Structure 1
Amino acid sequence: MFKRLSVTITATTALWLLAASLTMAATKKPQPPDEFPPSPLEITAPDPLLPRNPDKDKQPLSVIEQQQLETELDKLNQQATAKLQAGDELGAFDIWNRELRLRRYLGSLKEVQALGRVGAVAYQKSNRPEVQYITQRLQAIQKQAKSQKTTDLDLLQALGLAYQQVRSPQNAVEMYQQVLTAVRQQQNPAKEVEILQAIAQVHLSWFDYSKAADRYQELLQLATARGDSVNELAYLQRLAYIYEQGKQPQQAIEIQNRLAEIYQRQNNPTQLPALKLAIGSDYESLAKKNPNLLQEAFNNYQQAYTIAWQSQQYVRAGEALQKLITLYRSQGQIQEALQASEILVQTQQLASNFYGLMKAYDQIGKMHLERKNYPQALQAFQKGLELAQQLKYEEDYFSGQIQKLSRQIPQ
């Protein structure tokens, strides 16, 4: 009897507890998990570095109070930098976040400048949460600035730079574009150039060559109109680079020819050989669709060689000759290629380029092999072997070529 009662009570109790737990589970709403922890830049706890609570007092800090606070915040920045250098990244960003929370009491401009500085470090250290916190704060400041009746161009430009530092190019360009529109309305050409350069650099940093080129073309037009030859040259050089990187040979040739004209007017042969090589290479690229342009590639390579030789730039002269040899061979003009190769040998000797000289003899040997001129091929490979032995490089290759030829040449 006692056992049966005990069992009954135990079963009843278990059923009651189960029912209670089910009721609690039904009435308790599930809590969504926090996707991101709260931003440390939005902590509102009082800080001992503040002389008083400006938010509570509804009064901004006085000039003297701001100066004192700024001095202390500069010290925090130094402490954070020291911790980072010592390997304590977590401690460093704790200090920097405290600094950034307090920088807002010095005004939006100084806060944005500090956000950009710390954001650049966070990005470099691949600290994605920190970059996100800083970007969110920048967006909040941007929104606040947009609601103001007057436009603070210095703040917008600082926001553009800060967005660059946290690698947010679209936001950066948006800020710079607003500044650009304003300075154009104000007819401030110096500031217009500064902002155009900033926008172009953002596009270039993110390999958006088309948009970067558009901006540098604007800068080029402004420099040309002002007769600013120094910046005109700089923008042409940058455009030549952009069009090369963007695989736009036709546009590159147009810019490079303008550069060539400037160098010729300046009587500056130093830059011309490399430029002529680049033009020749672009014509060679275009000749894949239009073979008639191959002659332009020849012409520019020949000009590169001539200018380089006359100015004793023997390394460049060797590069131009090699381009010519390759083109000759591609057109089946082996005799012309051999003649150019003999000049290449002299050029590499003058340049003291023993590796290049060894490769030249190898090239000559291969071309003689194509024409079944075995004695001449053997002679070239023997000279190549002598250089290979000095360089201790590809000795087995030249020895193998000589052995093959020795079996083919009648003794």
Structure 2
Amino acid sequence: MHNCSNTCLLEMFRRRVKVVVTATLSLWLCCSSIALAQNKKSPPSEFPLNPLEITTPDPLLPTPNQLLSPQERQNLATALDQLNAQAQARLAAGDNRGAFEIWNRELRLRRALGTLAEVQALGRVGAIAWSENERTQVQIITQRLQTIQQQVQSQPTADLTLLRALGYAYQQVRSPQQALEVYNQILKLERQQNAATAESTLRTIAELHLSWFDYPQAAKSYQELLTLANSRGDRVGEVTYLQQLAYIYDRARQPQQALVVKQRLAELYLNDAQFTQVPALRLAIAADYQALGQIQQAFQNYQEAYASAWSLQQYARAGDALRQLIALYRTQGQVNEALQASQILLEADQRAANFYGLMNTYDQIGQIHLQNGNPTAALSAFEQGLAIAQQLQYQQSYFTQQIQQIQQNSTQ
């Protein structure tokens, strides 16, 4: 009887739990359905309406789809310029939000003046948004530019003026891939038309690749520009493009390619009697040879760099070449040659009034003498270095320590 009672009570408890769970589940499903319905009706606040897509009539343009007369276009353009000035004033006062609200209004209304006017305004405001770190605004403007690009590309005939404005606007909002896509389209059209502006567009493409550190593509574009300059005998252009290629190959750490370009550049400098350009270039060529492990050629070009700089009284440049030459001598175990070059370097530093360099050269001479087992000569060099260090009030303790160490060793 007792067992039956317990069984009955247990069964009643299970039924009540089932009822409660069922009711709770039904309530949750009902609430979820209501919530979903509400979400469908009203979008979340974190996704506001694109300010460039607002279609509410504006007092400056009550009938947006109506064609404007020349006078109406002029009046609207003047009013939009005034809006731009108001936005600039807001920005200068620190009210970024208010400024871009005005600019967005201006951009919406610029459409009435044609696609070209709108693109130019988008680029102008986009550049400001980028400089002010207004990322959302930059994204909004970039999206609008992409929409315009799609519309332009769907047209049977291309408008080069509009495409150039579009490419430049992409540059202003720092969208290099989109800009390159547009400029490559422009380049293709210009070449088909044999337009003289094709080289200018190719330069823009090369500069874009370079500014975004795409060295392989930048080199490809500048090589093409170099070929064009060679074909028409444009010596100035040839030098300019060789300089750019040398810079690119240096940055890309391609010494072999850099070497070829710099050798050609050195020939042009000598042929055009631009001798002042030669020492720095010889120094760079020597560094490329050294990077390639071609030590004898490196020695030769460091020496030529030093000699040409000295003859031109470019003593600071001569000092740079001598320092590299001395370092190379030391790595090759040529101590006597390093010391001889160091004596010349002392004179170069003196003529260049490079007192810090002079102090360091004495230190280097002292270190070479110590390695060569000549403490007396090392002591003399360190003492002369100390005298300069005291004048400069720099590294006196270092030279003093070197001198004391030699003196202590000599007394032991």
- Using structure 2 for the length normalisation, give the TM-score: 0.90
Corresponding residue for residue 65 of structure 1:
72
**What are the Cα deviations for residues 286-323 of structure 1, in whole angstroms up to 9, with x where unaligned?**
11xxxxx1111111111110110000000000000001
- Given that residues 375 and 409 in structure 1 are in contact (C-alpha distance below 8 angstroms), is that contact kept between their aligned partners in structure 2? no
CA distance in 2, matches of 1:82, 1:279: 53
CA drift at 1:28: 2.1
1:365 partner SS: helix
Corresponding residue for residue 46 of structure 1:
57
2:275 partner SS: coil
Corresponding residue for residue 6 of structure 1:
none
CA distance in 2, matches of 1:258, 1:312: 24
**What are the Cα deviations for residues 26-79 of structure 1, in whole angstroms up to 9, with x where unaligned?**
5325227466322111111111122x4132xxx322222112111111121122
**What are the Cα deviations for residues 79-122 of structure 1, in whole angstroms up to 9, with x where unaligned?**
21222122221111111111111111111111111111111111
Q: CA 1:183/1:19 → structure 2, altered by over 3 Å: closer, same or farther?
A: closer
1:409 partner SS: helix
After superposition, where does 1:180-219 map in structure 2 within 5 Å?
Answer: 180-188=187-195, 190-219=196-225
CA drift at 1:157: 1.5
Percent identity (aligned) = 57
CA distance in 1, matches of 2:330, 2:187: 53
CA distance in 2, matches of 1:179, 1:27: 54
1:260 partner SS: helix
Corresponding residue for residue 13 of structure 2:
none
Corresponding residue for residue 81 of structure 2:
74
After superposition, where does 1:4-403 map in structure 2 within 5 Å?
Answer: 22=28, 24-28=30-34, 30=36, 31=39, 33=44, 36-50=47-61, 52-55=62-65, 59-188=66-195, 190-287=196-293, 293-403=294-404
Q: Name the aligned partner's letter for residue 311 of structure 1.
A: L
**What are the Cα deviations for residues 237-274 of structure 1, in whole angstroms up to 9, with x where unaligned?**
11111111111111111111111111111212211111
- Given that residues 249 and 258 in structure 2 are in contact (C-alpha distance below 8 angstroms), is that contact kept between their aligned partners in structure 1? yes
Where does structure 2 lack aligned partners over 5 or more consecutive residues? 1-20
CA distance in 1, matches of 2:139, 2:317: 49
2:249 partner SS: helix
Q: Name the aligned partner's letter for residue 110 of structure 1.
A: A
CA distance in 2, matches of 1:70, 1:330: 70
- Given that residues 54 and 61 in structure 1 are in contact (C-alpha distance below 8 angstroms), is that contact kept between their aligned partners in structure 2? no
- Given that residues 363 and 381 in structure 2 are in contact (C-alpha distance below 8 angstroms), is that contact kept between their aligned partners in structure 1? yes
CA drift at 1:19: 9.4
CA distance in 1, matches of 2:347, 2:248: 35
CA distance in 1, matches of 2:30, 2:337: 94
CA distance in 2, matches of 1:20, 1:281: 80
- Given that residues 210 and 218 in structure 2 are in contact (C-alpha distance below 8 angstroms), is that contact kept between their aligned partners in structure 1? yes
CA distance in 2, matches of 1:336, 1:391: 29
Q: Name the aligned partner's letter for residue 313 of structure 1.
A: Q
Corresponding residue for residue 3 of structure 1:
none
Q: Name the aligned partner's letter for residue 335 of structure 1.
A: N
The number of aligned residues is 387
- Given that residues 385 and 399 in structure 1 are in contact (C-alpha distance below 8 angstroms), is that contact kept between their aligned partners in structure 2? yes
- Using structure 1 for the length normalisation, give the TM-score: 0.90
- Given that residues 57 and 64 in structure 2 are in contact (C-alpha distance below 8 angstroms), is that contact kept between their aligned partners in structure 1? no
CA distance in 1, matches of 2:60, 2:278: 61
CA drift at 1:18: 7.9
- Given that residues 263 and 272 in structure 1 are in contact (C-alpha distance below 8 angstroms), is that contact kept between their aligned partners in structure 2? yes
